Amino acid sequence: MSSKKTYKNRDKYEQEQMKNYEYRTRPYSTGGSPSHMTVMPRKNEHPERTIKRFLKKCKKEGIIDQFREKMHFEKPSVKKRKKAIKRKRAIEKLQTEQKNK
């Protein structure tokens, strides 16, 4: 005798298969390129919460920042200048915090 379930009603079988498909877990991306981000909805999870988890993962992987950087070409000299300005601001901010203590 087979250990497989037998279904009298084909619709019930399809519904169970879809249910198993919707909530199965998939491995998360560990980094690298390309990044195909997947977020499967958890059981009884609100759709907005699923979207929030997706955006959080994208932000953590740096996909959004990478996209913004590649929208327009930026010369290496401009990149260096912006990096230096950012560094200078950070140093000034730390110095003002040290003085206020």
Q: Per-residue pLDDT for 3 more than 60?
A: no
Q: Per-residue pLDDT for 25 more than 80?
A: no
Q: Per-residue pLDDT for 76 more than 90?
A: yes
Cβ pair 40, 24 in contact under 8 A: yes
Q: Per-residue pLDDT for 21 more than 60?
A: no
With H, G, I as helix, E, B as strand and everything else as coil, classify residue 4. Answer: coil
Determine the pLDDT at residue 70: 86
* Residue position matching structure tokens 């087979």: 2
Mean pLDDT of the chain: 80
